[in-house]
Amino acid sequence: MAGPLQGVRVVELAGMPPAAFTTMMLADLGAEVVRIDRATTNERGITPPAGPLDRGKHPLALNLKDPADLERLHAISRVADVLIEGFRPGVAERLGLGPQELLAANTRLVYGRLTGWGQDGPLADRAGHDINYIAISGALDPVGLAGSRPVVPSNYVADFAGGGMLLAIGVLGALLERERSGRGQVIDSAMVDGSSLLTSFLHGMLANGLIAGPRGTNTLDSGAPFYDTYECADGGYVAVGCVEYPFYLQLLDGLGLAEDEDLPFYMDRTTWPELKEVLAAKFRERTRDEWITVFDGTDACVSPVLGLEDAPLHPHNVARAAFVEVDGVRQPAPAPRFDRTPADTPASSADRAPTEEVLRGWGA
C-alpha cells in the first residue's frame, strides 16, 4: 500500500462507524489496519457487505472473553503503532484493553479513543447520537430556514467531521510528536468537542456582529438571496453562492436581470425577501441542467444540487477521479492528495493480503 503512512501499523477495535471512518482514512493514506471483529458477529465488517468504511482493512475475528484470543490481541498491540477504540468510557478497561495496560507494554503506542461526550464530564456515561452532540455544541441551532425548527444535517457533523476525522488528525499529531519524544499517548476525541470546533468561524462572525438574526436570516445560512438553493422548472435545484459583488453581477447577467434597475442592492438585508422572490421566479423558468449550461464557464457560483447517485457522474468529479469503485460499491476516493507519496486506490477485499500474513509481517 502506498501513501504517506506506509509502514504505520493500526489496530481497530471494531465498533461504531465514526471510529471505523478514522481507520478508513488512515488505511487510505497507506497504514496497515487490522480490524478486530467480535467472533460472534458478521465478519464482513460493520457496514456489510464490503462497505466503504471497511476498505483497505484486514479483518481478524477474536473472542475477547477467551483468554487466548485476548492474549493474541495484547501481542498485536505490543507491535502496533496505533490502536483505535470507540467504546463508552470504561468498556476497554473492563475488557483488559485500557490505555494504562497497553501503554505499559508498548510505550510508543498511540491510543485513540472516540466517544460522543468524551472520557469525562457529567454526560460521559450517557447514550447519545450525532443529533445530541451537535445540539449542545451549538452546531445544530444555526441550521434551518427562517421561522422553522432546526434541520438535522444527517449525521455528518459530529459523527464523521467532528468525531472520526478529528481523531484522525489527533493520531497524526501524536505520531509526529512521537518522533521527538519516542513515546505514545492517549487521545480523547469527543464528538461534542469536534462539532463545537467546527463552529469556530461562526463564533467569530457572531462576535463581529455578522450574525444578526435567528437561523435562516443571515448571510451564509440561506437568509441571503445570493446564498441559497432554488428550485428549477424540472423540480431540480441549484445552489447559489455569489457572495462577492463581481460574482453576483455575473449571476444577474445569466438570469437576464443585469439591466433591471428596479432590483434592490443585494446587501440590503431589508430587501432580501423581495430579491429572493425575484430570483426564485427566474430559476423556475428553466430546468436545472439548462441553468447549469447558462452559467457554465462563469464565476456566478451556481452549481447543481446532486444526489449521492449523481455526484460521481459530474464532469469535475470524473476528471479528478473523485470516486472509485471497491467491491462493487461506488464511493469517495481517498483524500487529500500527495505528490510524492500518493495513496493507492483501495484494493478489493479479494486482493488484500490475508490478515495472518500481515500480522506475520508485524511479528505478531
Which is the catalytic residue, given 69, 74, 129, 299? 129
CA atoms of 17 and 19, how far apart (whole Å)? 5
- The pairs formed by 283-287 with CB atoms below 8 angstroms and a separation of 24 or more are 283/230, 283/231, 283/232, 283/238, 283/255, 284/230, 284/231, 284/232, 284/233, 285/233, 286/232, 286/233, 287/232, 287/233, 287/234, 287/236
C-alpha gyration radius of the chain? 24
CA atoms of 285 and 225, how far apart (whole Å)? 17
CA atoms of 324 and 362, how far apart (whole Å)? 29
CA atoms of 209 and 218, how far apart (whole Å)? 11
> Please, which residues bridge with residue 44 across strands?
none
47 — phi, psi (to 5°)?
-130, 60
Which grid cell is 106?
Answer: 508498548
- 186 in helix, strand or coil? strand
Active site residue 120: no
CA atoms of 241 and 17, how far apart (whole Å)? 32
88 and 128 Cβ atoms separated by less than 8 Å: no
Which is the catalytic residue, given 28, 54, 81, 159? 159
4 and 25 Cβ atoms separated by less than 8 Å: no
Identity at 351, one-letter amino acid code: D
Active site residue 159: yes
**Annotated catalytic sites, by residue?**
129, 159
